[in-house]
């Protein structure tokens, strides 16, 4: 091999660039060939000398990353632990990121029984440096550090490193949150979520370490709105981890969310808390046993909509959407209709109010969810009290308008723009399972004409929404006992049946044929 000169790293730069950006897979043979030409000390020395050649640092880092991802390259890492140690403390974010990724390669690929990757990390004091990269590095460094720590948690010895028995240990994640910036705290909490997702065992260790308490502390800290928003999203991620539900108290989380909705002075925080509440409760099999905390959230959202004149439009839309998500399950819909006064009144009012388009769209979709459009056919109808409450709300709303009847309101929705019609189709699809609503739909021929006309919609989603609505009406009419006894419905039934037979898309039409004519001669 030619002698390498720091003063003239051109040869190394060219070879490293070729290796780093080679489009194919770099295997053990290619990695060994490269390292034979340019030994690791040579490359590391080039990184440390900080040559003024543009791009040298990023190219060498990319090259080493690909080397270490091979089994051959990973086998070299245990012999260069001091390099990782120095790299994790480097001023360069590129080098720090490389060092974090190298730790991950070590943990993923070293299978030599004589070498313990976790012990190497202990011996070279790597873990505290990874934590420093997590809280003080740039976004790429923090992400690479998180991945390395997550890999470390897979090792039994690694669990002891990450979760020390002494809660006052400097590396204890709970203790770390008390010493770093708001951004650093959010990153630590994001790491906890990643670790929580690994397994039920790790989740139980996090729970026993009282680390979940850190989320509540951060939410109650109202000094940093952006940090609170980030933590709210992380809490939702936690609630979505299946094996972690036994350790995370959704009731406590809902209490926190209800408090934010009721008490926060920040509109964006209230909106996000409402959306997360809706997503948490947007499950058919969700256990509503902890009803007080759910009612508190619904009451807080109801309060937002009661004072809508002093709130911004986006916040009202978030509130309506949250009610729709809560009401997508039978338990949620019945809860919304059983409150006094029923929170669904806001949804029904806004669904037929043309003063605010965004609010109307959110309300129409919410009403579709509450009435069962997202539920299976067997789970659309609610208990008798809830059904009567829903019927009364719709008729009372209609009576306060110039349309006077629900059918008039429905027709006005379908006569609006395509996006509003789509939301209207969803609402009809859910509500038409009720005999009283089916009567309203069939009482206006214009409604039937719109939902059965193949050329009403021009977009795929619009065509499919219209077709689903048409099919739901047809199915409700067929199952209704009155269809055979009422001759006036026979024509409507036949029209619906034909529209369903044709399908959702435009029927085939004959193409216009070009006509060729001879030119006029003078």
The structural domains of the chain, with segments of one domain joined by +, span 1-162, 181-245, 249-401
Task: Please report the pLDDT score of residue 288 as a whole number.
Answer: 67
Query: Cα 214–216–222 angle (5° rounding)?
Result: 105
Residue 457 near residue 414, CB atoms below 8 Å: no
Task: Please report the pLDDT score of residue 383 as a whole number.
Answer: 92
**DSSP symbols for 428-470:** HHHHTTSHHHHHHHHT-HHHHHHHH-TTS--SHHHHHHHHHHH
Q: What is the pTM of this model?
A: 0.78
Over residues 289-325, the pLDDT tens digits come to 657 888 888 999 988 888 755 456 788 898 999 999 9
| CA 168 – CA 382 distance, rounded (Å) | 53
249-401: same fold as 1-162? yes
The segments of the chain whose pLDDT lies below 70 read 1-8, 50-52, 111-114, 283-290, 308-312, 481-486, 506-522
Task: Please report the pLDDT score of residue 353 as a whole number.
Answer: 83
Task: Please report the pLDDT score of residue 511 as a whole number.
Answer: 44
Question: Hey, what are 199's tokens?
Answer: 């397994």
Residue 290 near residue 248, CB atoms below 8 Å: no
| CA 87 – CA 162 distance, rounded (Å) | 21
Residue 42 three-state SS: helix
- Architecture per CATH, 249-401: Alpha Horseshoe (1.25)
267: nearest Cα among 231, 233, 235, 308: 308
Q: Which fold has domain 1-162?
A: 1.25.10
Over residues 175-227, the pLDDT tens digits come to 999 888 889 999 999 999 999 999 999 999 998 888 888 888 888 777 788 88
């Amino acid at each position: 091999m030619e002698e390498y000169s720091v003063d003239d790293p051109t040869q190394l730069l060219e070879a490293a660039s070729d290796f780093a950006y080679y489009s194919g897979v770099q295997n053990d043979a290619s990695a060994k060939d490269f390292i034979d030409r340019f030994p690791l000390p040579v490359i590391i020395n080039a990184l440390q000398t900080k040559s003024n050649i543009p791009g040298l640092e990023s190219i060498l880092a990319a090259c080493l990353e690909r080397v270490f991802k091979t089994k051959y390259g990973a086998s070299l890492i245990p012999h260069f632990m001091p390099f990782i140690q120095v790299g994790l403390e480097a001023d360069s974010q590129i080098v720090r990121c490389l060092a974090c990724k190298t730790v991950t390669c070590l943990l993923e690929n070293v299978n030599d029984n004589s070498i313990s990757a976790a012990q190497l990390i202990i011996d070279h004091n790597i873990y505290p440096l990874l934590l420093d990269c997590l809280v003080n590095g740039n976004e790429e460094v923090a992400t690479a550090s998180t991945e390395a720590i997550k890999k470390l948690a897979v090792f039994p010895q690694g669990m002891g490193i990450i979760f020390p028995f002494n809660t006052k240990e400097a590396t204890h994640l709970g203790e770390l949150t008390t010493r770093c910036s708001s951004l650093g705290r959010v990153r630590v909490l994001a790491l906890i979520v990643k670790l929580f997702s690994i397994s039920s065992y790790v989740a139980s260790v996090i729970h026993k370490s009282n680390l979940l308490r850190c989320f509540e502390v951060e939410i109650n800290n109202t000094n940093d709105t952006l940090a609170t928003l980030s933590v709210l999203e992380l809490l939702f991620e936690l609630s979505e981890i299946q094996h972690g539900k036994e350790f995370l108290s959704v009731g406590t989380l809902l209490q926190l969310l209800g408090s934010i909705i009721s008490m926060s002075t920040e509109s964006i925080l209230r909106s996000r808390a409402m959306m997360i509440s809706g997503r948490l409760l947007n499950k058919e099999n969700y256990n509503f046993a902890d009803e007080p905390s759910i009612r508190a959230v619904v009451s807080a959202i109801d309060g937002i909509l009661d004072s809508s004149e002093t709130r911004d439009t986006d916040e009202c839309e978030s509130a309506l959407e949250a009610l729709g998500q809560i009401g997508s399950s039978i338990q949620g819909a019945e809860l919304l209709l059983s409150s006094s006064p029923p929170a669904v009144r806001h949804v029904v009012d806004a669904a037929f109010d043309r003063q605010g388009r965004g609010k109307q769209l959110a309300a129409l979709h919410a009403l579709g969810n509450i009435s069962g459009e997202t539920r299976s056919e067997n789970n659309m109808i609610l208990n008798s009290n809830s059904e009567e409450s829903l019927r009364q709300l719709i008729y009372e709303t209609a009576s306060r308008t110039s349309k006077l009847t629900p059918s008039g309101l429905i027709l006005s929705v379908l006569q609006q723009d395509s996006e509003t019609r789509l939301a209207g189709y969803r609402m009809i699809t859910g509500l038409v399972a009720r005999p009283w609503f089916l009567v309203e739909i069939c009482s206006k021929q214009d409604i039937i004409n719109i939902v059965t006309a193949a050329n009403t919609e021009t977009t795929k989603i619009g065509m499919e929404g219209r077709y689903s609505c048409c099919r739901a009406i047809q199915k409700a009419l067929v199952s209704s006992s009155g269809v055979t006894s009422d001759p006036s419905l026979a024509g409507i039934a036949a029209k619906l049946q034909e529209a369903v037979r044709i399908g959702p898309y435009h029927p085939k039409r004959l193409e216009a044929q070009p006509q060729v004519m001879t030119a006029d001669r003078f």
